[in-house]
Amino acid sequence: MTPKTVAVAGATGLVGREMMRVLEERNFPVKSIKLLASARSKGTKLKFKGEDLPVEELTETSFKGVEIALFSAGGSTSKKFSPCAAKDGCVVVDNSSAWRMDDTVPLVVPEVNAADIKWHKGIIANPNCSTIQMVVVLKPLHDAAKLERVIVSTYQAVSGAGIKALDELLEQTKAVIEGRKPEAILFPHQIAFNCIPQIPQSDAFADNGYTSEEMKMVNETKKIMGDQSIRVCATTVRVPVYTGHSESVNIETEKKLTPDEARAILANAPGVIVKDDPSRQVYPLASEAAGHGDTFVGRIREDLSHPHGLAMWIVSDNLLKGAALNAVQIAERL
Ligand code: NAP
Ligand code: 3JN
């Protein structure tokens, strides 16, 4: 690949910093890199390949001469600036929900639907982290036995809610241990030593009783898998873990799959590692998945409530495969 002129929009954020780290680690052929954020960060220096680079303010003219832009600066920023970038001939890989359900924008997980990259018109959307790790595992099972229904409950790490949320977890944990009353600012309730069934924490529940994170899992799964007939029900829960989303997933398939057949299929699936030996207490753990690019699956067993049902436990690093790594993998395919 010839070296590319790259921009990272949202470079000062949790995901943006991870994107720079992944570009470095995977030796992405970078000719030059532009680091963009809000006016607040103008002049801040960030390290890339050992060099201190200044952060510039993201403006409508930031993308002249840029070939690939990785965006992680939130939905409204992406709505405003991605079209400017695309107009200047740059291809945007956007991490926000701004474009995911737009019919003219591919929504891509390379292991699942890399072919969709081809029909982009300047913007490619990166799915939500909880969706990404689930479809990486479910696509090979769908190909083998056709998924009819998915029921998922997530156990999502606090880093998914940004850097301030991590500070809040730490502060609350200290307060509880020291016998003080924990203060909830960002989260609606105490997150330390607790679980909160509302993601994102700031959104109202929709009229159907679901959160937007839950509906992202429903709608994005169908779009990425290219099958609107798959029925999905999601419950998304924040847990006091720093990094690594875990998911309890039950599936119903048209053709029966045994746990052994599912394990054999997943053993050959790209981006998936089967960690499944309950007799030795081997199963995926967020603490072990953190820092790794693969998605881990284990506890694969029959769903006793359905003749064609399987239950499993899926874990991945939400900032890596769930965000930065998936975006860089899309850029690599470009
Ligand atoms: P964060 O740590 O709060 O960082 C936000 C970044 O966006 C910062 O670099 C910030 O710049 C920049 N920004 C905010 N407003 C801007 C503006 N008006 N113009 C230019 N830059 C602006 O958040 P994060 O955790 O990295 O997440 C960032 C975004 O990534 C989220 O909003 C979400 O859309 C997406 N995300 C996706 C997933 C996923 O599931 N795929 C997971 C997490 C996040 P300053 O530092 O200058 O304020
Ligand atoms: O909460 C998590 O674990 C994942 C958060 C993702 C997120 C956070 C803020 C805004 C998103 C997203 O990717 O869907 C967005 C958004 O762009 O809507």
| Domain shared by 222 and 299, yes or no | yes
pLDDT on residue 261: 98
Amino acid at residue number 334: L
pLDDT on residue 43: 87
Q: Where are the alpha helices (DSSP H) in 199-310?
A: 212-225, 259-267, 286-289
| Domain shared by 144 and 293, yes or no | yes
Please give the structure tokens belonging to residue 108: 């891509």
| Domain shared by 147 and 80, yes or no | no
| Domain shared by 157 and 278, yes or no | yes
| Domain shared by 122 and 136, yes or no | no
Provide the phi-psi class of 43: left if phi over 0, else alpha when psi is between -120 and 50, else beta.
Answer: left
Tell me, in angstroms, the distance from the centre of ligand 2 to residue 264's CA. Answer: 33
The ligand minimizing its distance to the Cα of 243 is 2
Which residue among 8, 71, 72, 124 has the greatest number of ligand 1 atoms within 8 angstroms of its CB, and so is best to mutate? 72
The ligand minimizing its distance to the Cα of 198 is 2
pLDDT on residue 235: 98
What secondary structure does DSSP assign to 207-230, as a single string? TTS--HHHHHHHHHHHHHHT-TT-
Query: Which of 83, 64, 69 lies closest to 36, judged by CA?
Result: 69
| Domain shared by 104 and 160, yes or no | no
Burial class (CB in 10 A: 0-12, 13-18, 19+), 87: exposed
159-200 pLDDT, tens digit per residue, is 999 989 999 999 999 999 999 999 999 999 999 999 999 999
295-324 pLDDT, tens digit per residue, is 999 999 999 999 999 999 999 999 999 999
Residue partners of 288: CB distance under 8 A and separation at least 6:
296
| Domain shared by 117 and 168, yes or no | no
pLDDT on residue 1: 77
Q: Walk along the chain (334 residues) and give the pLDDT tens digit of each residue.
A: 799 999 999 999 999 999 999 999 999 999 999 999 999 999 899 999 999 999 999 999 999 999 999 999 999 999 999 999 999 999 999 999 999 999 999 999 999 999 999 999 999 999 999 999 999 999 999 999 999 999 999 999 999 999 899 999 999 999 999 999 999 999 999 999 999 999 999 889 999 999 999 999 999 999 999 999 999 999 999 999 999 999 999 999 999 999 999 999 999 999 999 999 999 999 999 999 999 999 999 999 999 999 999 999 999 999 999 999 999 999 999 9
Backbone φ and ψ of 283, nearest 5°: -160, 165
- Domain coverage including residue 113: 4-127+324-333
Q: Is 216 in the pocket of ligand 2 (CB under 6 A)?
A: yes
| Domain shared by 144 and 118, yes or no | no
pLDDT on residue 203: 87
> What residues does ligand 1 touch, defined as CB less than 6 Å away?
10-16, 37-38, 40-41, 58, 72-75, 77, 95-96, 126, 128-129, 160, 162-163, 322-323
From the candidates 84, 129, 189, 233, give the one annotated as an active-site residue. Answer: 129
| Domain shared by 162 and 264, yes or no | yes
Tell me, in angstroms, the distance from the centre of ligand 1 to residue 233's CA. Answer: 27
> CATH number for the domain including 121?
3.40.50.720
Neighbour tally for 308: CB within 10 Å:
17
Residue 129 known to be catalytic: yes
Name the β-bridge partners of 282.
277
Neighbour tally for 150: CB within 10 Å:
22
Please give the structure tokens belonging to residue 323: 């965000």
Which residue among 12, 60, 71, 330 has the greatest number of ligand 1 atoms within 8 angstroms of its CB, and so is best to mutate? 12
